[in-house]
Amino acid sequence: MKKKVVLAYSGGLDTTVIIPWLKENYDYDVIAACIDVGQGTETDGLEEKALKTGAIKYYLINCEDEFVEDYIYPTLKADAVYEGKYLLGTSVARPIITKKLVEIALKEGASAICHGATGKGNDQVRFELTIKALAPQLEIIAPWRIWDIQSREDEIKYLEDRNIPVPMQKDDTYSRDKNLWHLSHEGLELEDPNNPPNYEKLLKMSNTVENAPNEAQYVEIEFEKGIPVCVDGKKMSPSNMVKYLNEIGGKHAIGIIDIVENRVVGMKSRGVYETPGGTILYYAHKELEYLCLDKQTLSFKSIVANKFAELVYSGEWFTPLRSALSAFVDKTQETVTGKVSLKLYKGNIISNGATSPYSLYSESLASFTTGELYNHKDAEGFINLFGLPLKVNALMKQKNNCEVK
């Protein structure tokens, strides 16, 4: 009996090439597996295509709600943003995709998992770290690190030489990754950071800022313990909420970024990312945290957010540290409950008010009117003690004729 390999299959250029390549170079039966985390119509017709190209079996696993609940929500609650811009759209999907591939491989008795990530990219790291964490006995096949193909043009020629339909047009070879949370674009004019993105051609989820409506739209999001539960008073499933916010966010050109980022493998890369619904949720969640978290927790949580983002970006989801950080984050979210109103207008999100039963804001304390909880005279003693180290240091410098800088 032949050994089996499970291929992470998208039906795109890379994985269309990989099926015949595996058959030509390995004596394995190929099982094509598409893990649906919100690719939409991209999954249509993939079974027929995979089988015609040489796969013996095809899986389509829909896990949109699981993706949002178990991966997006923990990342959202952590406020994790990579290098100040990237909401981790591709990164956060890789753990669940790989976990499902491992489950299929174990069910089918497969010996290996194959992925189409390039030898220069982040995804090879993300896929393989997850496989090592969940099923270290499985072999990993990474064609981009083995074969003689060097470019997307080589891939297109490979398919044309074998009379296999090319799943894209030659003049539209952006490298794209789509899921429920975002859509990424790389390649073509984006490879030169000095070139402006061709937004009219490039954007798929969003209007350009110029084409966004001239009238603002308001949206209210309700959270319970850091998790969004209602939009405009309507309860929705996790995936439907993201889809709805993608729709209105994309309409108003929300969440379009152009970033030069540091890849895990040591080089910089440039991409344009569309994350309309995610950007709205991040903004609303942070506004509620400003209202509900104390100063020390909010400050320390920003440190955790950066580390959490690095772990997700690098494919280190199934690690003790990520799990421990999530436990800390969950503790901070116990009082992050309330409603946030936002105004969406031509690429901008504008705060429109927030309320929470756990709000730490006290109008009587914050107003200029003296209240019972605050005595202005107390400030003098506080300032004297708070400034004591500065005073002692200044006296030392005076004593030693040191210049104060």
For residues 149 and 171, what is the distance between their CA atoms, to the nearest angstrom? Answer: 19
Provide the CA 284 distance to its chain's centre, in angstroms.
Answer: 16
- As a whole number of angstroms, the distance between CA 108 and CA 4 comes to 8
Q: Which of 36, 94, 270, 322 is catalytic?
A: 94
Q: What are phi and psi of 45, to 5 degrees?
A: 75, 5
**Contact in structure between 236 and 242 (CB atoms under 8 Å):** no
Distance from C-alpha of 58 to C-alpha of 272, rounded to nearest angstrom = 31
Task: Give the active site residue among 14, 36, 79, 177.
Answer: 14
Does the active-site annotation cover 162? no
What are the structure tokens assigned to 60, written together?
């389509």
DSSP characters for 4-22? EEEEE--SSHHHHHHHHHH
User: 177, 194, 159, 191: which is closest to 42 by C-alpha?
Assistant: 177
Annotated active-site residue 175? The verdict is: yes
For this structure, is 94 an active site residue?
Answer: yes
- Cα separation, 104 vs 109, whole angstroms: 8
What amino acid occupies position 366? A
**Of the listed 10, 36, 91, 175, which one is catalytic?**
175
Q: Is 119 exposed, middle or buried, given 0-12, 13-18 or 19+ CB atoms closer than 10 A?
A: exposed
SS3 178: strand
14 is catalytic: yes
Active-site annotation holder among 123, 184, 322, 356: 123
Both structure tokens of 128:
């393989």
Strand-strand pairing, 183-186 and 112-114: unpaired
DSSP 86: B
Q: Which residues are catalytic?
A: 14, 94, 123, 175
